[in-house]
Amino acid sequence: MRRRTALSVFLATLLCTAASRAETLNLLIWEAYIDQGLIDRWTQETGVSIRQINFDSDDARDEVLADPGNNVDLVVVDENGAHLFGKNGVLQAVDEANLPTLSDYAPKWRDRCAGYGLPYFTGTVGILYRSDVIAQPPTSWQDLMRPVSSLEKHIAMFDDHTELFVPPLMLLGAAINASDTETLKAAFELLRAQAPAVLTYDYVITAVQDQAIGPEIHMALGYSGDQHVLNDKVGKPGLWRYSVPEEGTLSWIDCVSVLASSPHRQRALEFLDFIGSPEGAAANAVALTMPTTSDAALKLLPEAMRSDPEIYPPAAALAKSQFQQELSISSVQARRRIISTLANFQ
């Protein structure tokens, strides 16, 4: 956790000291999570540049947003973050009056962004694996939590207080938003038993770029769509694959939001309208091989993409999925204590 906190402090310092120019918008976003060609087109048409600042966990992002002097104009948040930061006045409320393209998004997506963001991409949490090492796709969270001996020290987990707990809680048959002490204690025992097999608790897209450990990662906890980024990072198409375990998983949605404190709110809203337009959302989805939440953009996607089960999973694969909900402060604190303890068992 020390490294994660250092990352957050670094980002906050960078944002606070690098004053945003009038013609630059600061976008706080996951790495490789927006098409650069789309950004270039926006800049060419408007003269406004986009400065991307990457984070690699929700916790790191939230620490930056908690700093009132962060100079962020736009941010990618999950549905829980949209609710929480919107309710606390951190995010600008949006509707069809100030963000016209919202009319292309179904209520089921808009409601999950709580009126504080543009529905961006949706997906699941699952198991990423190297197909050259693991011939049979993982089918259970057991494959990750109790790996075979050949995978010891080849596992990458993810020290986020939500995602890290999805595998153990699913194996326990519990809710992913569980907050009671007994359930979290049981989840901790599963994570502690797994810890000796874990190579790193850094987000796999970050870790795979570390030459010291990247080649040693054979299986990882991650998000649908991460396999495409990993293949791009290692320069080997099709090497990394993705699987949704049979026990069920977390079904997530990301929203792109404008900060209420941004001095460039109107420009930021215009950028949202641009990337959320049918053409913009479709181009972004194709470039990232991700599922769009725009009904109008969906019609513009190639049929092969719309019928790809890795992009749009069949209903059966999502039948056991759960949505993220706001956790109590005590639950978040307990989960973070567990995370900080796991390094002692590696």
> Per-residue pLDDT tens for 219-266?
999 999 999 999 999 999 999 999 999 999 999 999 999 999 999 999
In order of their start, the domains of the chain are: 2-122+251-312 (3.40.190.10), 123-250+321-345 (3.40.190.10)
CA geometry: angle 229, 232, 236, nearest 5 deg: 125
Query: For the chain, what's the residue count?
Result: 346
- pTM of the entire predicted model: 0.85
pLDDT digits (tens, 9 = 90+) for 181-232: 999 999 999 999 999 999 999 999 999 999 999 999 999 999 999 999 999 9
Give how far Cα 220 sits from Cα of 131, 146, 230, Å: 12, 13, 11
In this predicted structure, the answer to whether residue 14 has a pLDDT above a threshold of 90 is: no
- Tell me the three state secondary structure of residue 126: strand
- State the Cα–Cα distance between residues 91 and 85, nearest whole angstrom: 6
pLDDT at residue 195, as a whole number:
97
In this predicted structure, the answer to whether residue 3 has a pLDDT above a threshold of 50 is: no
